[in-house]
Each structure stands twice: as C-alpha cells, then as structure tokens.
Structure 1
Amino acid sequence: MSKSISANEVKEHNTVEKGLYIIIDNGVYELAGFLDEHPGGQKILKRVGGKDASKQFWKYHNESVLKKYQSRLQIGTLKEEAKL
C-alpha cells in the first residue's frame, strides 16, 4: 500500500461508480464497497466523496475506528505536490 495518489485523482473519484475516494489526514481510502456497512449511513460518505474528510471523520470517530478499517480501506497516501 505504498501508492501515492494526487489530490486531483481523489477529486475524480467522487461517486460510487468512480470509486468514492476520501482523504483522512494523509491517507486515501476507497469507500464504495463500505457504504452498506457504515453505521452512519451512505449519505454522509457520498457527501464527502472526492474530498478531504478529516474534519468530519475526527468529529465522530476516534483512532480505534481508523485502525479497525485502515488495512481494508486505505489504498494509498496523498501525494505531496509542489506549491507554486
């Protein structure tokens, strides 16, 4: 799981059909296959698809939740890009 994924690539995966990627801290997660399992429902995950969901995630979850699902859902890390 050493794949670096750009912020633009995450933005492109903003629907279930496109893969539904989100960012939590610097990790990139693919959630299309997790929608039915999410206790908070599908709607919130679809709303944050293609975006950095760190703020929303940490508001409702603790580190144990991230650790529980990380190995299954994390597909890479956010690629550091040069800022002009």
Structure 2
Amino acid sequence: MSKTYTAKDVAEHKDEKNGGVWIIVDNGVYDVTNFLDEHPGGAKILKRMGGKNASKQFWKYHGDGVLKKYGPKLKIGDLAETAKL
C-alpha cells in the first residue's frame, strides 16, 4: 500500500536541511533529494520547486518517458485527496 501525504506534508520538505526535497507531480509525491546532482537541468530548479506542486513545470519540459524512467525510484507516495469546497 502506498503512503499518502498532504500538500502540507510536502511543503515541509523544501530543502536538504529540513527532511529533504519533495515535489508533487500530478498526484504523486517524489523525494528528489538524492537526484539533485543527477538532474540534467541542474539542482537549482528542483530546489526552487521543493515542497511545491511541480506538475506544470515538469510537463512543460519532460515527456511521459521521463516519469516512467525515474518515477519508480523517486516516488514515495501519493497526494491525499482534499475536499473541494
């Protein structure tokens, strides 16, 4: 069973000093802390998006193949459903 996280949980992980760098892509939560130095676009953009929903920026620069290749090793859970009011 996959772990679920709230957007608040993810927001608490915005840099390496505070539990790592997590991002949201679609409904997945990814820990990119150990991928910072490997990211072809550089660590800066991942650090800038740390703790946030990076879906728009991710899909602007990446195809589905990137998520299929790297997603399984970086995904730590799913974003919890929140009530829409």
In angstroms, what is the RMSD of aligned CA positions? 1.1
Deviation string 1:3-24 (CA, Å, 9 cap, x unpaired) is 0001100000011222111000
1:79 and 1:63 map into 2 onto residues whose CA distance is: 22
- Shift, 1:26, TM fit: 0.3
User: After superposition, where does 1:2-81 map in structure 2 within 5 Å?
Assistant: 2-17=2-17, 18-81=19-82
Matched AA of 1:79: A
Q: Answer 1 or 2: which has greater helix percent.
A: 2
2:84 and 2:10 map into 1 onto residues whose CA distance is: 18
1:58 and 1:83 map into 2 onto residues whose CA distance is: 24
For structure 2, the residue ranges without an aligned partner over 5 or more in a row are none
1:7 and 1:73 map into 2 onto residues whose CA distance is: 17
- Shift, 1:81, TM fit: 1.9
- Shift, 1:35, TM fit: 0.5
TM-score of the aligned structures, taking structure 1 as reference length? 0.95
Report percent identity of matched pairs: 63
- How many residue pairs end up in the alignment? 84
For structure 1, the residue ranges without an aligned partner over 5 or more in a row are none
1:7 and 1:19 map into 2 onto residues whose CA distance is: 15
- Shift, 1:83, TM fit: 3.8
Q: List structure 1 segments (4+ residues) > 4 angstroms apart after TM superposition.
A: none
